[in-house]
Structure 1
């Protein structure tokens, strides 16, 4: 009888784990970096940081296809590590931040492609131009953060063409292709 009780409890626990609910996390802008890097006339490979990312990640470990991500990048947080170049990037030559203050990404498909590896397809919108983008994603960790809240962390990479978003000034001398590297932490918000 005792063995049967243990077996029943184990099966109940396993069935609960197998049907775990998706978890919704809020992106932590303090621990999220979106870095763009390009080639400048063959001489250097400068980069820019898009800060203050906002958004949500929904992660379903049992059904990865049910996962999703939605991110907003305020372009006022753009930092090329040069105040003069920041002004140029925010101007009408590039991002036109006064008219188009944010960039957004919204996933349309999430696929598992190996242990801790995902392929996230979605729509990137810059200057009201929307193009499909595929992110190669590595799941860094799922667990409980030191603030005692469930948390998740990812790294991701992709390459986009500046000209697809009307940002192609000086291409191809300045590379049209821009490498994007992302690292992010997100936590389940505390109940308020």
Structure 2
């Protein structure tokens, strides 16, 4: 009887370890938004949205330090809802999108930071300049996405950067140097990986 109980406990432990294994999710651009906000002469606080986000997130709930994220944000997806302003932001005055068409982020460290919280440190590259930034991340939900019928994970994240440090400092300080960034993202395990996991 003891052997049977021991075998059952071991089987349960193995199954639990397997279910907690890290998964790699592909970012769903349709449910991902990167929002940058700043102060305009102190009168208003405009925002710009960055869509068409591409990348992957590997998340290990049992060992957050084994998690990682790598993201590409094309400036083609920039949208402030003012077309003329979008073109100005893409111009050489700011992002110089013709020369530097993408913003990228690649994590270098992931740490647990409390219940459903993470701190993600990584290299942010904007305008050809790379700086280390820290994202404060909230884990929204991890589970099966009911429409896709596959494993999914959702996160919100925020940070503040100084745009002048990335060579995008035109009109500072009248237009604020500090830019707040808020990210909301949903990511889903690709079909092939989902099939492998079931197998």
Same-fold call, TM cutoff 0.5 = yes
Matched, 1:22 2:22: yes
Unmatched tracts of structure 1, length 5 or more: none
Output the aligned Cα RMSD: 1.4
The equivalent residue for 1:101 is: 101
Separation in 2 of the partners of 1:64 and 1:55? 19
The equivalent residue for 2:47 is: 47
Q: TM-score, normalised by structure 2?
A: 0.92
Separation in 2 of the partners of 1:9 and 1:29? 43
Unmatched tracts of structure 2, length 5 or more: none
Deviation string 1:14-34 (CA, Å, 9 cap, x unpaired) is: 244236431100000000000
Alignment of 1:152-167 (within 5 A): 152-167=153-168
Separation in 2 of the partners of 1:138 and 1:7? 38
Alignment of 1:38-117 (within 5 A): 38-117=38-117
Separation in 2 of the partners of 1:61 and 1:5? 30
Deviation string 1:31-76 (CA, Å, 9 cap, x unpaired) is: 0000000000000000000001000000111111010000000001
Deviation string 1:76-106 (CA, Å, 9 cap, x unpaired) is: 1100110110010000000001111000000
1:114 alignment partner, SS class: coil
Separation in 1 of the partners of 2:187 and 2:8? 33
Separation in 2 of the partners of 1:93 and 1:178? 17
Separation in 2 of the partners of 1:162 and 1:73? 16
**CA contact under 8 A between 2:127 and 2:168: conserved in structure 1?**
no
The equivalent residue for 1:119 is: 119
The equivalent residue for 1:8 is: 7
1:39 alignment partner, SS class: coil
Separation in 2 of the partners of 1:139 and 1:53? 19
Q: TM-score, normalised by structure 1?
A: 0.95
**CA contact under 8 A between 2:53 and 2:73: conserved in structure 1?**
yes
Separation in 1 of the partners of 2:44 and 2:163? 17
The equivalent residue for 1:32 is: 32
The equivalent residue for 2:140 is: 140
The equivalent residue for 1:179 is: 180
Separation in 2 of the partners of 1:64 and 1:17? 17
Question: What is the count of residue pairs matched by the alignment?
Answer: 191
